[in-house]
Amino acid sequence: MGVIGTGLIADFAHLPAYREAGATVVAVADVVESRAARMANKYDVAQVYTDYRRLLERKDIEAVSVCVPNYLHAPIVLDALAAGKHVLVEKPMAMNLAEAKAMEVAAERAGRILMVGFNSRFRPDVVKLRRLIQAGKFGDLYFAETGYIRRRGYPSGWFTVKAESGGGPVVDIGIHVMDFTRYLVGSPLPVSVVATTQNKFGACPVEDGTWESSDVREGLRDGKVFDVEDFATAWIRFDNGLVMTLTTAWTANVPRDRVYSNLLGSLAGASIDSYHPIHKRSEGGADVELLDVYTEEAGMVCDMAIPYRNVVTHCAEIRHFLGVIEGSEAPIMTARDGVVMQAILDAVYQSADQHREVAVVV
Ligand SMILES: NC(=O)c1ccc[n+]([C@@H]2O[C@H](COP(=O)([O-])OP(=O)(O)OC[C@H]3O[C@@H](n4cnc5c(N)ncnc54)[C@H](O)[C@@H]3O)[C@@H](O)[C@H]2O)c1
């Protein structure tokens, strides 16, 4: 393996997950050499490059993780595929639909796996809920209300610069709830979007919870530019008739952070709601999370609370990527899922700019 970009997500997720899965990362690349060297030292990686193209030249590297700012996803992924590597690229797939489609086509032509880092698909509540949905327990799913809202938690640096990130909380965090919810309801295709975006806080001083990019944390840039939204809401219509709403914010005057997906089906509904105190119980001194399902049994309304323990979803994602490369697992997410999500992201900004509903053509 090789890891390109050794910032926050490489350190938090990719490098430790490869180690845990028993895969050998033989080289890392980052334009900030000291950071790459620090990560190489921390994770016993033999070689450091400042030019990722040197890493891609190595024949002993079969696959790479691409963990760089969003505007570099497309060029680096295209180079990696051209060099014959399988690729796990962080979300969002790209800066726009045209880039995402070019990446998908390049992977098909190269005969290589291209996966987008939708780690939330590996949340245990999502895995359990999907089993129930696939067992037919929900009937016809027709509405999904999703949200990813932080009270205070905007990332700084390249994340808040439109030309480097492509957008604000929609592409950074809203994408996760939209993607795992679309996965849950059977991966329908979007047909239209109405959305609005706002910037009411920008780079406001915060007491806690700021997610800094590595460059800001290390004093290499000041993080003062903030030309993306800090709040958005969207209404997305899918080709199977399902409607999904999204509310997402890096900063909002709400009582607490929320990550939620409330599904309505003709036979049952469900509520995923991370951080909600009533979605927890204590078992043997440890917190157990609860997935709530609302249904009917024997002519009575009935609530089910399905217990689960949280896992590090990135580790599960990387084990899956390795399993797909080895051929022991069928992919649960493909480049197409990244393309579909990119089409939604583009439509959100187009609709917000034009103040109208826009058609989505994937
Ligand atoms: N799945 C998730 O939960 C999750 C969480 C955080 C970030 N991300 C995604 O991961 C990606 C990286 O985010 P981050 O938080 O690690 O950012 P970061 O700024 O901390 O790290 C990015 C790294 O890329 C390096 N880089 C920049 N240009 C490069 C180049 N040309 N070649 C090699 N390295 C280069 C930077 O020096 C930096 O070390 C983004 O796409 C982001 O959306 C995903």
CATH code, 266: 3.30.360.10
CA 34 to ligand 1 centroid distance, Å: 15
* CA diameter of the chain: 66
Q: Is the pTM of this model over 0.95?
A: yes
Determine, yes or no, domain membership for 107.
Answer: yes
CA 223 to ligand 1 centroid distance, Å: 15
pLDDT per residue as tens digits for the range 118-146:
999 999 999 999 999 999 999 999 999 99
> What pLDDT score does 158 carry?
95
Helix boundaries (H) for the chain: 8-9, 15-21, 33-42, 52-56, 73-82, 97-110, 124-134, 162-165, 169, 175-184, 214-217, 313-326, 335-354
pLDDT per residue as tens digits for the range 9-26:
999 999 999 999 999 999
* CATH code of 38's domain: 3.40.50.720
pLDDT per residue as tens digits for the range 298-317:
999 999 999 998 889 999 99
On whether both 237 and 290 belong to a single domain, the answer is: yes
Q: Answer whether 37 contacts ligand 1 (Cβ < 6 A).
A: no
On whether both 186 and 57 belong to a single domain, the answer is: no
On whether both 110 and 255 belong to a single domain, the answer is: no
Q: Answer whether 68 contacts ligand 1 (Cβ < 6 A).
A: yes
At 11, is the secondary structure helix, strand, or coil?
A: helix
On whether both 113 and 258 belong to a single domain, the answer is: no
pLDDT per residue as tens digits for the range 26-35:
999 999 999 9
CA 70 to ligand 1 centroid distance, Å: 8
Q: Answer whether 70 contacts ligand 1 (Cβ < 6 A).
A: yes
Number of domains into which the chain is organized? 2
Atom of ligand 1 nearest to the CA of 211: 15
On whether both 86 and 68 belong to a single domain, the answer is: yes
> What pLDDT score does 3 carry?
98
Distance CA 193, CA 239 (A): 12
Determine, yes or no, domain membership for 83.
Answer: yes
Distance CA 236, CA 239 (A): 10
On whether both 161 and 263 belong to a single domain, the answer is: yes
**Is the dihedral angle over the CA atoms 221, 224, 226, 227 positive or is it negative?**
negative
Determine, yes or no, domain membership for 337.
Answer: no
Q: What is the separation, in whole angstroms, between the first and last Cα of the chain?
A: 31
Q: Judge contact between 177 and 171, C-beta under 8 A.
A: no
Residues identified as active-site: 91
Q: Answer whether 312 contacts ligand 1 (Cβ < 6 A).
A: no
22 φ, ψ (degrees, to nearest 5) = 85, 15
> What pLDDT score does 189 carry?
98
- What is the span of the domain harbouring residue 190? 120-310+342-359
